[in-house]
């Protein structure tokens, strides 16, 4: 058994413990920390903890609080040293790690705040070097850190040790990487508000800890986890330095593990139990790796690339190639609503009924056309009853000056019609005054949110009309969770679910299209999908007959696409349809050029969308399929 495990993990250069989900992992880590605290208490010593901030440790801290309140775990003998803090940063600021640690842990346990140590973001810059030296000396005075909790950033940073950090670095002032600042932009209301510097423990400081636990959750971290665990040691990915420690363990959930070789490419490390999905994935991988069409793959290609077992068990390989080629070919359809009267046994969608009721759920007011605009247009052109439901107002993603421009227009229009504009004048003045003192990430006033929401609503209507929809089939849900989440940390989704159930009851769709971007577990797309799924599941359990004939299709956003082996429906677009899709995206004028939250990609949304779908078409062609201008891809959601 040990030999088999070593073979499976031979690409991995640090111990990795994988849990089904982040909750289970966090509970286990909290128990490990609690055991250290109790052991030190029994020895009459202080437990020295190195703590991290961010999303990763929140559930660990929540469980530690539970252990304190329900099982009597005391923190009176605990001394803590935090990894880092933004600079400059006031301790009471919303983004301060001092405030974070108090809200997430310290305010809820019996720790002596004199034993809490967090880098000081209020220092004069000339005083930072002396502070950092004293921070190191204080850690040493306690005999070092017993257990250090780490997260990992998408640059591979640990603490704020960005690419280029030295393995022996100590506590110091650093300049933040652009990607790190982009990732923090939502917390600060825009990247321009994110500090450019931070004070951080060094990699050398972290290495002195007697135990190091790195936490990684969600598919968003899968790529960097793979680099940190399997890549060569490099200053370009500071977390790779952890490979040289004997005291480190990566604790991750299944979603964060998917890029590790033993899960992503298991045929390279062990004999596999081959099923249709794994065979398709392996053959597509082989064709892409060798840059060969599927039908040109040979037995030696299989044997030389870790797939000899597949060739032996299911060969000859040409039969495998033919089967996978046909499978992929059958995903291609110009009839996303099904082709009436045609044999649908090899088609992704049903032929009947001839006219389907289709609803496209769009988390934000532009996801529909960005992600599946060509399919949206095709469904309408082919005579289906197409509805679009915009789940949130999207009011967060409108620039303040854009909002003022619309209010100014309303004022000028009122005057041009000889109407009294006094109310608008006063409203405008109050908006300007609010914006003068608006803090980063501060929620807008209700009138400002309303105007921003109306801007997005008008753009969405124009876009949906261009796609061919009648106004009565354009639905604005404005789900309450979206604005409520700006003011409450604990958000209920029951009213969102009830509202979604009612819309589904009214339409009784044969097809539901919904965003399937699950990489970020805290993103709007994920929440919106879960609301739809819960609403649909409840209706299904209530025995509503239409749910038996309703299929759910997932689309992806503008940032990345489904992998070729995952795609179950591929809708090819002509050059003319690509152009119409572009025009529909252009109707969302507030999101053009530079959107408020652009993510990692500097390209405009329409460029991302076109290049993403063109890349999917190129990959299909590379595998030996027909050459198309672009392809939009979908995966069908299947209930267990």
Residue 521 — very low, low, confident or very high, per pLDDT cuts 50/70/90?
Answer: very low
CB atoms within 10 A of CB 488: 10
Residue 560 — very low, low, confident or very high, per pLDDT cuts 50/70/90?
Answer: confident
Instruction: Determine the pLDDT at residue 591.
Output: 92
Contact 309, 271 (CB under 8 A): yes
Instruction: Determine the pLDDT at residue 154.
Output: 87
Which tokens belong to 461?
């209507």
* 464-485: pLDDT as tens digits: 999 999 999 999 999 999 998 7
Which of 164, 43, 62 lies closest to 107 in space, CA to CA?
62
Angstrom distance (rounded) from CA 67 to CA 567 = 45
Instruction: Determine the pLDDT at residue 3.
Output: 41
Checking if the pLDDT of 397 tops 60, the result is yes
Instruction: Determine the pLDDT at residue 191.
Output: 83
pTM here is 0.88
Angle at 268 between CA 265 and CA 271, to 5 degrees: 100
User: CA-CA distances (angstroms) from residue 496 to 184, 364, 391, 441?
Assistant: 28, 15, 9, 24
Phi (first) and psi of residue 307, to 5 degrees: -115, 25
94 assigned to active site? no
Instruction: Determine the pLDDT at residue 4.
Output: 53
Instruction: Determine the pLDDT at residue 237.
Output: 96
Instruction: Determine the pLDDT at residue 561.
Output: 85
Which tokens belong to 320?
């495998």
Which of 481, 588, 595, 470 lies closest to 529 in space, CA to CA?
481
Percent of the chain with pLDDT over 70: 97
Say which of 12, 136, 162, 577 is annotated catalytic: 162
Checking if the pLDDT of 520 tops 70, the result is no
| Strands 630-637, 551-555: pairing kind | antiparallel
Mean pLDDT for the stretch of residues 171-196: 88
Residue 169 — very low, low, confident or very high, per pLDDT cuts 50/70/90?
Answer: very high
Mean pLDDT for the stretch of residues 367-383: 97
């Amino acid at each position: 058994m040990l030999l088999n495990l070593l073979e499976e993990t031979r690409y991995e250069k640090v111990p990795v413990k994988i849990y089904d989900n982040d909750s289970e992992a966090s509970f286990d880590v909290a128990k490990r920390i609690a055991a250290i605290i109790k052991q030190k208490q029994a020895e009459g010593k202080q437990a020295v903890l190195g703590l991290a901030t961010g999303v990763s440790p929140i559930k660990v801290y929540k469980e530690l609080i539970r252990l304190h309140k329900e099982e009597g775990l005391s923190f009176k003998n605990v001394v803590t040293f935090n990894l880092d803090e933004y600079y400059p940063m006031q301790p009471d600021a919303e983004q301060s790690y001092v405030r974070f640690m108090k809200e997430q842990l310290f305010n809820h346990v019996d720790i002596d705040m004199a034993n809490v140590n967090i880098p000081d973001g209020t220092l004069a810059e000339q005083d930072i070097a002396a502070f950092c030296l004293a921070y190191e000396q204080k850690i040493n005075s306690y005999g070092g850190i017993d257990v250090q909790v780490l997260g990992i950033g998408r640059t591979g940073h640990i603490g704020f040790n960005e690419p280029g950090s030295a393995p022996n670095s100590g506590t110091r002032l650093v300049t933040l990487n652009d990607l790190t600042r982009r990732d923090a932009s939502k917390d600060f209301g825009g990247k321009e508000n994110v500090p450019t510097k931070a004070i951080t423990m060094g990699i050398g400081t972290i290495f002195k800890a007697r135990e190091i636990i790195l936490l990684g959750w969600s598919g968003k971290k899968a790529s960097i986890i793979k680099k940190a665990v399997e890549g060569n040691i490099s200053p370009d990915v500071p977390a790779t330095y952890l490979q040289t420690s004997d005291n480190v363990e990566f604790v991750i959930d299944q979603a964060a593990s998917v890029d590790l070789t033993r899960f992503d490419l298991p045929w390279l490390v062990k004999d596999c139990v081959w099923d249709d999905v794994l065979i398709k994935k392996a053959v597509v991988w082989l064709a892409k790796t060798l840059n060969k069409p599927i039908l040109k793959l040979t037995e030696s290609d299989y044997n030389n690339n870790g797939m000899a077992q597949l060739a032996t068990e299911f060969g000859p390989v040409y039969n495998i190639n033919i089967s996978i080629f046909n499978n992929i070919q059958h995903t291609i359809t110009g009839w996303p609503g099904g082709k009436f009267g045609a044999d649908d046994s090899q088609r992704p969608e049903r032929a009947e009924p001839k006219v389907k009721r289709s609803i496209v759920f769009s988390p934000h007011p532009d996801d529909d056309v960005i992600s599946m605009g060509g399919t949206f247009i095709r469904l309408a052109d082919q005579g289906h009853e197409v509805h679009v439901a915009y789940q949130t107002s999207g009011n967060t993603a409108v620039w303040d000056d854009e909002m003022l421009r619309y209010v100014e227009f309303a004022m000028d229009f009122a005057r041009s019609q000889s109407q009294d504009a006094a109310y608008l004048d006063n409203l405008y003045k109050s908006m300007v005054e609010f914006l003068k003192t608006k803090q980063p990430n501060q929620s807008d006033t209700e009138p400002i949110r309303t105007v921003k929401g109306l801007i997005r609503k008008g753009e969405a209507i124009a876009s949906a009309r261009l796609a061919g929809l009648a106004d009565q089939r354009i639905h604005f849900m404005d789900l309450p969770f979206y604005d409520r989440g700006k003011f409450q940390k604990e958000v209920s989704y029951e009213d969102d679910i009830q509202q979604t159930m009612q819309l589904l009851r009214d339409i009784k769709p044969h097809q539901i299209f919904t965003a399937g971007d699950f990489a970020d577990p805290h993103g709007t797309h994920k929440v919106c999908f879960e609301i739809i799924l819960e609403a649909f599941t409840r209706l299904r359990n209530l025995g509503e007959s239409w749910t038996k004939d309703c299929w759910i299709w997932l689309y992806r956003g503008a940032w990345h696409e489904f992998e070729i082996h995952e795609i179950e429906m591929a809708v090819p677009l002509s050059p003319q349809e690509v152009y119409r899709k572009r025009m529909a995206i252009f109707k969302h004028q507030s999101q053009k050029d530079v959107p408020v939250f652009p993510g990692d990609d500097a390209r405009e949304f329409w460029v991302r969308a076109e290049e993403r779908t063109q890349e999917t078409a190129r990959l299909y062609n590379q595998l030996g399929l027909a050459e198309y201008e672009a392809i939009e891809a979908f995966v069908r959601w299947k209930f267990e």
